[in-house]
Amino acid sequence: MEIPPVVIDRLPLYTRALSTLDEEGRDVVSSQELGTLLGVTPAQIRKDLSYFGRFGKQGRGYNVRKLLDELHHILGLDRQWRMAVIGVGKLGRAILGYEGFTPQGFRIVEAFDADPKRIGQLIENLTIRDANDLEKILLKSPVDVGIVAVPAVIAQNVIDTLVKCGVRAILSYAPIPARVPQGVYLKRIEPVLALQSMAYYLKNSPRSTAAASRS
């Protein structure tokens, strides 16, 4: 059975809310409550989960811990994923210093830059490697994910190199419509595009008037 990508995109949301509930000591949650928590309809949640099995109990809801474990297993979050950051500029350093990846099982194990002044520096317990050695190093020490934080003009080059090294998932911050071959997964982080689409709504909805809000 083929699961719609939109469904897969929502599952991490569910895991996050469930983690919070779990930390608060909650045992059981209904699709209703989870829905209001996330701004999603209860039916949507139930439908999404039903692609993978029957995890709830009628009349009660879902066991928080059990559902969380199931989702972790489904998404592959029950293991460690190795990541490399390419481009240790302003943004790259913020990424290296971000504490939000490790608790989710995503660990940055290599960092690369092309600037001689930066190569060899120790940042967040990582020695910055020469970008020219990318292939050599990744063949010895393979990673699952590549995080691209280099200038736009060379981003496609870097991505091509990563693909050549067998990296099958790429998170790109570069503002380009990067292309990857079949079987390689690419997600882009595009703050400028987000701003530009919001500008449309700002322009077209009069100040302090009701209008739909989207995230």
Ligand X SMILES: NC(=O)c1ccc[n+]([C@@H]2O[C@H](COP(=O)([O-])OP(=O)(O)OC[C@H]3O[C@@H](n4cnc5c(N)ncnc54)[C@H](O)[C@@H]3O)[C@@H](O)[C@H]2O)c1
Partner DNA sequence: AAGGGTTTGTGCTCACAATTACAATCCTTC
Partner DNA sequence: GAAGGATTGTAATTGTGAGCACAAACCCTT
Cβ burial, residue 110 (10 Å; 0-12/13-18/19+): buried
Among 12, 20, 43, 132, interactor with DNA by CB under 7 A: 43
In angstroms, give the least distance from the CB of 59 to a second copy. 27
DSSP run (H or E) holding 193: helix 191-204
Least Cα distance to 74 among 146, 142, 145, 18 occurs for 18
In angstroms, give the least distance from the CB of 135 to ligand X. 12
Nearest CB to a second copy, comparing residues 132 and 195: 195
Do 123 and 95 contact (CB within 8 A), yes or no? no
CA distance 108 to 129: 13
Do 174 and 150 contact (CB within 8 A), yes or no? yes
Name which of ligand X, DNA, a second copy, none residue 50 binds, using a CB cut-off of 5 to 8 Å depending on partner kind. DNA
Residue 179 is a binding residue for DNA (CB under 7 A): no
Residue with tokens 């050695």: 133
Do 17 and 38 contact (CB within 8 A), yes or no? yes
Tokens of 81: 């994923």
Among 11, 29, 77, 88, interactor with ligand X by CB under 6 A: 88
Nearest CB to DNA, comparing residues 30 and 121: 30
Among 13, 19, 37, 42, interactor with DNA by CB under 7 A: 42
Residues 115-154 that bind ligand X (CB under 6 A): 115, 118, 131, 149-152, 154
Among 25, 39, 59, 206, interactor with DNA by CB under 7 A: 59
Do 11 and 75 contact (CB within 8 A), yes or no? yes
Among 1, 39, 54, 99, interactor with DNA by CB under 7 A: 54
Least Cα distance to 84 among 102, 98, 96 occurs for 96
Residues 119-178 that bind a second copy (CB under 8 A): 144-145, 166, 168-169, 171, 175, 177-178
DSSP category for residue 100: T
Residue 63 is a binding residue for DNA (CB under 7 A): no
Residues 141-160 that bind DNA (CB under 7 A): none
Contact residues: ligand X, CB under 6 A:
86-92, 94-95, 98, 100, 112-115, 118, 131, 149-152, 154-155, 158, 173-175, 191
